[in-house]
Amino acid sequence: GENVEQHPSTLSVQEGDSAVIKCTYSDSASNYFPWYKQELGKGPQLIIDIRSNVGEKKDQRIAVTLNKTAKHFSLHITETQPEDSAVYFCAASISGANNLFFGTGTRLTVIP
């Protein structure tokens, strides 16, 4: 099956700085890459996703980039705010499949 690695496991940034989280995947057939945000005591929530037919996608302060050749994708958060503090998970799957393979998570702390 697919193996998704995620780095770093913890990340602290000053408010207003940018944060970058990186993931790699092993199965070249994977073509769907979502990112989930999990706040304390809650279930994960989808924040952005990208498919392999595009290299970058943006939604306000959040962007995701994909390099299919290198089999890695990244989450970029600009102008970080304290409410961005959470655990972020990347995932990978094959379009049309019924399961996601998740990374091990990154705990982001934004310091006011």
Partner 1 sequence: NAGVTQTPKFQVLKTGQSMTLQCAQDMNHNSMYWYRQDPGMGLRLIYYSASEGTTDKGEVPNGYNVSRLNKREFSLRLESAAPSQTSVYFCASTLGRVTNQPQHFGDGTRLSIL
For the window 13-52, what string marks contact with partner 1 as x by the rule CB under 8 A? -------------------x-x-x----xxxxxx--x---
Does residue number 3 form part of the binding site for partner 1 (CB under 8 A)? no
Q: Which is nearer to partner 1, 34 or 66 (CB)?
A: 34
CA distance 93 to 84: 25
Count of beta carbons in the 10 Å neighbourhood of residue 110: 20
Burial class (CB in 10 A: 0-12, 13-18, 19+), 77: buried
* Token pair of 73 as six digits: 């994708």
Q: Which is nearer to partner 1, 48 or 112 (CB)?
A: 48
For the window 46-85, what string marks contact with partner 1 as x by the rule CB under 8 A? x--x------------------------------------
End-to-end CA distance of the chain: 40
> By CB under 8 A, what part of segment 82-111 binds partner 1?
89, 93-105
* Token pair of 111 as six digits: 């310091």
* Token pair of 23 as six digits: 């993931």
Q: Residues in the site for partner 1, rule: CB under 8 A?
A: 1, 4, 6, 9, 32, 34, 36, 41-46, 49, 89, 93-105
